[in-house]
């Protein structure tokens, strides 16, 4: 059993109403792999960084149990860099800078011992890179999960739909689900998106929780824990996906029933992520912290 994650490992600079960072480690796959490794021991990461990267972070990932042998280091090049500033309500943000750098020519290398994984997470990357990743696997995984964002709907919709047709589960936020489907109702949007390929769909609604849609019109709603403070929402969606997949992989299952509980694990993992800047909080906690929030979660929804 194994879980392969591909996505960005990068630098971010973040400004929120609570403060401002310099360049810190970010990227979809950083969050996904940290969160999944809290719940599952066999996590492999495929990504690309420049020679400017914070290599201590890769060591810390390894210490958490993430195999980073698939992370390429491009000499003479710079890591992907994003900077953004959150609005006062923390629900929206402006992108200040996007420097693709090494991501612009990313050609994923999947180490031999990782090319037959049971679970695959295609983090937010160009659909072309996501497709190449699938092409380089030696067998069909039990479950392929894909994340994406509205940017790719604008510039690479056809490629995005081709990947979508090859995956089992798509995670996107509510706004993106509406954009991809052209439907305002999330129930209708889900039906249209699932007709594009994936048997399962997770629509993320941030502080409003998440919806899981599955075969035979099954729907499950997973709330978010009500929190005193949201310090930095960056990476919350990726942490959610990582917690989801880490727990699911630990069960060995891919059923709707197992996915429901996996979503709750994802939600609890995400509730830690937003407590500090970047990946900091995820690097401090252990599985037992997540289990503690599972108890709070059960109280929140117990009828």
**Which residues here bind a copy of itself, judged by CB under 8 A?**
88-90, 184-188, 205, 208-209, 211, 219-221, 223, 226-230, 260-261, 264, 299-303
Rounded to an integer, what distance in angstroms lies between the CA atom of residue 65 and that of residue 13? 26
Least Å distance between CB 271 and a copy of itself?
Answer: 12
Residue pair 16/224 in contact by the 8 Å Cβ criterion: no
| Closest-CA residue to 23 (of 7, 37, 38, 11) | 11
CA distance 137 to 117: 8
Minimum Å gap between C-beta 94 and a copy of itself is 18
From the CB of 208, what's the least distance to a copy of itself, in Å? Answer: 4
Strands 10-16 and 81-86: parallel
- Residue 154 tokens, joined: 């604008």
User: Residue 74 or 188: which CB sits closer to a copy of itself?
Assistant: 188
Return the closest-CA partner of residue 37 out of 11, 4, 15, 70.
4
SS3 (DSSP) at 234: coil
Residue 171 CB, nearest distance to a copy of itself (Å)?
17
Considering the complex, state which of residue 105 and residue 255 has its C-beta at the smaller distance from a copy of itself: 255
Select 84 or 223, whichever has its Cβ closest to a copy of itself. 223
Q: Which is nearer to a copy of itself, 114 or 297 (CB)?
A: 297
**For a copy of itself, the closer CB: 55 or 221:** 221
Q: Are 210 and 202 in contact (CB under 8 A)?
A: yes
CB of 182 to a copy of itself, least distance (A): 13
């Amino acid at each position: 059993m194994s879980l392969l994650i591909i996505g960005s490992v990068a630098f971010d600079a973040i400004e929120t109403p609570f403060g401002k960072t310099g360049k810190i480690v970010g990227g979809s796959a950083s969050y996904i792999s940290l969160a999944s490794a809290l719940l599952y021991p066999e996590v492999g990461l495929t990504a690309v960084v420049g020679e400017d990267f914070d290599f201590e972070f890769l060591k810390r990932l390894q210490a958490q149990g993430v195999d980073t042998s698939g992370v390429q280091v491009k000499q003479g090049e710079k890591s992907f860099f994003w900077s953004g500033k959150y609005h006062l309500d923390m629900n929206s943000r402006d992108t200040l800078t996007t420097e693709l750098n090494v991501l612009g020519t990313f050609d994923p290398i999947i180490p031999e011992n990782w090319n037959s994984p049971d679970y695959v997470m295609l983090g937010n990357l160009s659909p072309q890179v996501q497709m190449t990743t699938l092409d380089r696997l030696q067998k069909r995984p039990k479950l392929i999960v894909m994340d994406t964002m509205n940017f790719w709907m604008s510039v690479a919709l056809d490629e995005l739909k081709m990947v979508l047709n090859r995956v089992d589960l798509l995670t996107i936020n509510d706004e993106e689900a509406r954009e991809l489907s052209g439907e305002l109702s999330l129930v209708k949007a889900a039906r249209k998106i699932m007709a594009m390929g994936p048997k399962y769909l997770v629509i993320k609604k941030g502080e409003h929780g998440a919806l899981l849609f599955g075969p035979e019109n099954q729907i499950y709603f997973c709330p978010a824990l009500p929190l005193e403070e949201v310090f930095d929402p960056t990476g919350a969606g990726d942490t959610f996906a990582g917690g989801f997949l880490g727990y699911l992989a630990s069960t060995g299952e891919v059923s709707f029933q197992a996915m429901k509980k996996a979503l709750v694990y994802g939600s609890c993992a995400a509730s830690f992520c937003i407590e500090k800047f970047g990946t900091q909080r995820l690097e401090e906690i252990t599985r037992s912290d997540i289990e503690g929030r599972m108890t709070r979660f059960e109280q929140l929804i117990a009828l």
